[in-house]
Structure 1
Amino acid sequence: MLHRYIAGFILIIWETFINQSAKINLGIFYTLTGDFAKAMVVIDEQWLMVYVAIYMFGIWDGYRQTVDMNKQYILADREDVSLQPMAMGAWDINFLDKRKPWVALLWSVLFPGLGHLYIHKVIVGFFIFAYTVVILYFGHLPQAIHLTMIGDFDTAKEVLHMQWAMYLPSIYFFIHYDAYVGAIDYNVLFEKEMKKFLRKNYQNKNFKFPF
């Protein structure tokens, strides 16, 4: 949400690596199901301590950056600087346009990442798309859903890899929220730029017609 893509991608990949090494998701799963003994066995304490440091840094840095960027936004908004309404390059074309937030939300519900592509957050959209595909593949979620739909619950529980499957709840609803809020924010930018353009270019009310 802070548009610090490189730092965000690195932290997500690093968190996944630490989580896989420490088996934190399995520990959470067994704890929620009441099997505390198995939770203590599967978790690697050495990697867990590294995870705590990264987790706390992510919370602190996110809060700090949000406060600083809010201050920068107030200063930038008072300057009333014009935005670049269109950017055209060899790889893509990007332009300010109004988007429907409910459409971004709907596409994100159907598959994470599609809502971000709709609001033209291409890099973030493809990263989320690829990250979700990896989780679904290694967690065997599509296969488990299929087996559940045909009533084979025992096999569904056997094929489901909870260490990977537990990643999805932590990102699924945030992705919906981020796509929805992103569409609203782009609409706000579009309206501000449109108002600014009309103030500068709309015909003066005192203009005298030549007839």
Structure 2
Amino acid sequence: MVAWWSAVFSGFGPYLLCQYLRGTFLTLAEVILNTLAHINEGMIYSFCGQFELAKVVIEPKWAFGYLTIYLVAIADSYRSAIYQNKLHHLAVLEYKGIRRLHISPMEIQYIEKKNPIIGALYSFFLPGLGQLYNHRFGLAFYAMLW
């Protein structure tokens, strides 16, 4: 799941893993490199069948940078998710309790049962409201700003 969200938009995978600084840097890097490489313009031309214009518009050196960030974000998110799953498994084996509340400088995390339909409805009306419902304040305000 985390690798999929990183493939959708670099930085979303780390956000799901509560790695906000890494997610912010990857998101900004993708936006900047996408703009410099003119990826979206090339996609529009290629979807319209104007392949020669797509070749002319895309900047190859920035496109390779974009590809690098894109692939690194997917691989790093997958690696981080596997590592966090291993830590969770070790905690379960050692009978360590899981904290229901964690307060850090970046956010407050609660472990409680939530209704995913309500979160989806909130996000439908305004991106980020579903994250507020889930008490993921850093991700919520970041989504609202974008």
TM-score tier, shorter chain, comes to: 0.7 to 0.9
**1:129 partner letter:** M
Residues 4 and 87 (structure 1), Cα distance of their counterparts in 2 relative to 1, 3 Å cut: closer
What residue is the counterpart of 2:61 in the other structure?
46
What residue is the counterpart of 1:67 in the other structure?
82
In the TM superposition, what whole-angstrom CA distance separates every residue of 1:104-129 from its partner, at most 9, and x where no partner exists? 01111222111001110000110011
What residue is the counterpart of 2:116 in the other structure?
101
Shift of 1:97: 3.4
Quick one: distance in 2 between partners of 1:123 and 1:88?
A: 12
**1:48 partner letter:** A
Q: Output the aligned Cα RMSD.
A: 2.4
Residues 50 and 79 (structure 1), Cα distance of their counterparts in 2 relative to 1, 3 Å cut: same
Quick one: distance in 2 between partners of 1:94 and 1:102?
A: 20
Residues 31 and 86 (structure 1), Cα distance of their counterparts in 2 relative to 1, 3 Å cut: same
2:95 is the counterpart of 1:80: yes
SS at match of 2:98: coil
SS at match of 1:99: coil
**2:48 partner letter:** T
In the TM superposition, what whole-angstrom CA distance separates every residue of 1:9-47 from its partner, at most 9, and x where no partner exists? 100011100101111111112212212122112211121
Q: 1:117 aligns with which of 114, 132, 145?
A: 132
TM-score (norm 2): 0.78
Q: 1:29 aligns with which of 35, 41, 44?
A: 44
TM-score (norm 1): 0.55
Structure 1 gap segments, 5+ residues each:
132-211
Larger Rg: 1
SS at match of 1:53: helix
Structure 2 gap segments, 5+ residues each:
1-15
Question: Identical aligned pairs, as a percentage?
Answer: 33
What residue is the counterpart of 2:5 in the other structure?
none
Residues 96 and 72 (structure 1), Cα distance of their counterparts in 2 relative to 1, 3 Å cut: closer
Q: 1:7 aligns with which of 22, 25, 38?
A: 22
